[in-house]
């Protein structure tokens, strides 16, 4: 089963809490409360998000976090890669020489193509689109290319 980790899911929840109030710098405890997550979990996801340039941190009495860019300029592949590293359906999708049967296996190009399709689908969805939909807003439309 293909699945993102819980931390990546939680990172998306934290980012949507920030995206819902982009003009406000929120502390980690405030983010934990809004996201309904434990404070250590929020602290754990904020570090790689900051390292990836998705959030900015501010020190001091009024310190906290806010998005580094508008929510419509952050896509899901950036979030996944910030938390999990390069997107790869299989090891051979991105790293040659990681498989013992690579020389006799002809499916690496197919996995690379599938990997690119998944990355493109994630790239097509912005953080702004992940915000809870107000009444009347349509669901995210994702279409995979068929070639």
**pLDDT per position as a tens digit, 27-79:** 999 999 999 999 999 999 999 999 999 999 999 888 999 999 999 999 999 99
Q: Does residue 144 sit within a domain?
A: no
99-130, pLDDT tens digit by residue? 777 777 888 888 889 999 999 999 999 999 99
Please report whether residue 104 resides in a domain: yes
**CB neighbours of 117 closer than 8 A, spacing ≥ 6?**
144, 145
For 12, the domain range is: 6-130
**Is 138 contained in some domain?**
no
3-class DSSP state for residue 58? strand
pLDDT of residue 145 exceeding 80: no
- Rg (Cα) of the chain, in Å, rounded? 18
Number of domains forming the structure of the chain? 1
Q: What's the maximum distance between 2 C-alpha atoms anywhere in the chain?
A: 60
106-120: burial string, b at 16+ Cβ within 10 Å, e else: eeeeebbeebeebbe
pTM: predicted TM-score of the whole model, two decimal places: 0.85
pLDDT of 137:
55
């Amino acid at each position: 089963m293909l699945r993102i980790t819980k931390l990546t899911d939680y990172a998306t929840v934290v980012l949507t809490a920030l995206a819902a109030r982009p003009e406000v710098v929120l502390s980690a405890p405030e983010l934990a409360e809004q996201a309904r997550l434990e404070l250590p979990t929020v602290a754990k996801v904020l570090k790689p998000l900051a390292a990836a340039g998705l959030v900015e941190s501010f020190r001091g009495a009024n310190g906290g976090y806010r998005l580094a860019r508008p929510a419509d300029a952050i896509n899901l592949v950036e979030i996944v890669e910030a938390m999990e590293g390069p997107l790869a359906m299989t090891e051979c999708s991105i790293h040659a020489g990681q498989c013992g049967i690579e020389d006799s296996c002809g499916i690496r190009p197919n996995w690379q193509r599938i990997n690119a399709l998944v990355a493109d689908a994630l790239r097509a969805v912005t953080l702004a689109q992940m915000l809870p939909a107000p009444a009347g807003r349509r669901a995210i439309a994702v279409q995979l290319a068929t070639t």
